[in-house]
Every structure is written in structure tokens, then in C-alpha cells.
Structure 1
């Protein structure tokens, strides 16, 4: 029964979206599910499992870069879309977020093997997050890298996503 209700919620949230708009909404739903699965792990509410962190980070990474930008062809601002026209007006900024998503998620997957998810007080802001390589991210506590992933998502949403009522 709960699966039926959850499925109905997703269908309602997509408001009759079709084509590329539905594809990108489905991709965002998948990304959201991965973030929701990782959040309690990164907050120490559930046991740390490096395999789960790595698997979910890899799923997120696949949704970024060119995969993400291909889901936003110019003119796909119709119907149920929550995309703002700013995406196409500031395309290079949008691409930076998409590329950052993959790089940060790849870094999270690499950091997953670190002994703990907890932050060691390492400042994730050592320089711009745009300049941190996957290799540098791999040395950080997974929770710090996860915060960078979610910060990237939040920044993109703030700039390029409108809320539908």
C-alpha cells in the first residue's frame, strides 16, 4: 500500500510531465532518493556502511555532468517544468554545477572507504570547492564531502529551480 501511495506522490509531483521534462524530473527524484539514503548515515543516525556510501555516490555521479545538461535542452521550459529560464541565460554556470555534481560525488565515492563518516573538523572550504580534485576530496571525511555535494545541489536549485505551487 505504501508503495502505491509513494508512486502516486511522485506522479502528482511531476504534474503530468512528459518527454524530456519527465526524464529530468525522474533523474532528480533518483538523485533525491540517494541523498535521503545517505543523510542519516552522514549524520551518524545509522551505522556507517562504506559500500552503501560508495554505491549511492556513484549513482549521483552518473546523474551529473553531460547527463544532467542533456536533460535541459533549450526550449524545454514547458508544462510541469520547475526549471527557470536562467538555466539557458547562464548556461556556463549551470554546466559548472552539473560538472561539480559528478566531481564531488566521485570524491564522495572515493572517500567512502575512510574509517568514519564523521567530520574531523577539516574545513571543506579550503579554497573553492570548484578547485578540489577527486583525489583531494578522497582524503576528506565522507561527511564533509557529502556536505559539499548537497551544497552544490542547493546552489543549483537556488539559481535555477522554481517551486511550483
Structure 2
């Protein structure tokens, strides 16, 4: 390689580095977005199983009812950690800006959700009549949080 080629290569590398430096900071944490989407998918699956029992589409089963709360609790436990600043956009996220502009309110909603799941699970519903109010308190959290902290794409 001659001196001119080396100089050209060095200039090209320098120009590329400079171009990267002026790009807008838009790198998104797609891994964490996928993690929270997976957690919501799991919670949604548990809610669907609950709904099927509540509607009589499947027979009530105390073990399945307990599993609904277990799945919801395990996914809700770390859900709040899946919202770093670099995950506001990208990956078809449905996270609303309010998560970052009202972080204390968001944390309070998550804490209420976790508390209501724990309280519902503690009732250990053995019948559909006992499961209905236990699950209703949990489901109400979903609706409330989705209204303010989720953008429906």
C-alpha cells in the first residue's frame, strides 16, 4: 500500500468516526423492550386463562387459578426494571412517555399491581365465586395502568 492509499484510508476512517459522532443519540435498548414485552405477553396469557374460567369456556380449576396469580406475580416483580431511558422508542414498544415523565406514579401503579396480585393469591380461591372478586381487583390494575402508561399501537 502506498502513502497516498494510507492517507486516504486514514482520512476515510477519521471521516467515518466524525460522522458517527454527529449522529443523533438514538440507540435503543431493544433487549429490555423485548423483556418487558415478553413479561406483558405472559401476564396477558395468565389474564386470558382467568377470563376463560370466568366466562365458563373452561372449567374452574383451583390450581390453574393459583397459577394465574403466580405467573402474574413473577412477571410483575421485575417489570418496573425494564424501562431505562434508552428504551423509550423502538421495537414496537407500547410504553407511553408518561412512564418517564411521571416515574413516581408509574412505580406506584406497579406497586399496587404487585400488592393486589399478592392479596388475590393469598385468598387461595377454591371456587369460581371466590376467584371472581380476587381476579377482578387485579384486572382493574391492568386497565388503570394501560390507560395512562400504554400507547395502543
TM range (shorter): 0.7 to 0.9
Aligned partners of 1:82 and 1:162 also within 8 Å: yes
TM-score by length of structure 2 reads 0.74
Aligned pairs, number = 124
Which structure 2 residues correspond to residues 78-93 of structure 1 after superposition, within 5 A? 78-79=89-90, 80-93=92-105
Q: Provide structure 1 residue ranges, at least 5 long, that are not aligned to the other structure.
A: 1-16, 119-140
Moved over 6 A (4+): none
Whole-angstrom distance in 1 between the partners of 2:58 and 2:119 = 21
Question: Larger helix proportion, structure 1 or 2?
Answer: 2
Question: Which residue is equivalent to 2:108?
Answer: 96
Q: Shift of residue 75 of structure 1?
A: 3.1
Partner of 1:21: 33
Distance 1:113 1:148 in 2: 13
**TM-score after normalising by structure 1:** 0.69
What are the equivalent positions in structure 2 for 1:133-144 lying under 5 Å apart?
141-144=130-133
Deviation string 1:63-90 (CA, Å, 9 cap, x unpaired) is 224x011011123112121111111111
Q: Which moved more, 1:99-108 or 1:85-94?
A: 99-108
